[in-house]
Amino acid sequence: MHVVMNGGDSAYVALLPSGFAVVPDGPGSRGSENGDATANGGESRVSGSLLTVAFQILVNSLPT
C-alpha cells in the first residue's frame, strides 16, 4: 500500500467492495430549509441521510 501512496503502480492493488448502508441522520434533525419559519409559524423538518461505504484492500505481491 505504501508503494501506491508514494506514486507506484496500482495494478497490483484491488479494492473489493464489502457493502454499504444508507441510514437516516436521526430523529432530532429539525430546522428550516431556508432559515425562515414556515407559513403557519411552525418549524419544518429537515432530514438527511448518512452513507457508509466499506472496502477491503487486497495487495498482491509485486513481481520480481
Q: Which structural domain, as residue segments, surrounds residue 9? A: 1-26+45-64
* Residue labelled with grid coordinates 437516516: 24
Q: What share of the chain is helix, strand, coil (3-state, %, to 5)?
A: 10, 35, 55
The reply to whether 32 falls in a domain is no
* Residue 6 within a domain: yes
Has residue 39 been placed in a domain? Answer: no
- Measure the CA–CA gap between 46 and 12, rounded to whole angstroms: 44
User: What is the mean pLDDT, run by run of 10 residues, along the chain of 64 residues?
Assistant: 77 85 76 54 74 86 58
In the chain, how many domains are there?
Answer: 1
| Beta partners for residue 37, in sequence order | none
Q: What pLDDT shows up at residue 13?
A: 79
In a domain, 17, yes or no: yes
Give the DSSP per-residue string, 38-58: -TTSSPPP---EEEEEEEEEE
Q: Is 35 a domain residue?
A: no
Q: What's the length of the chain?
A: 64
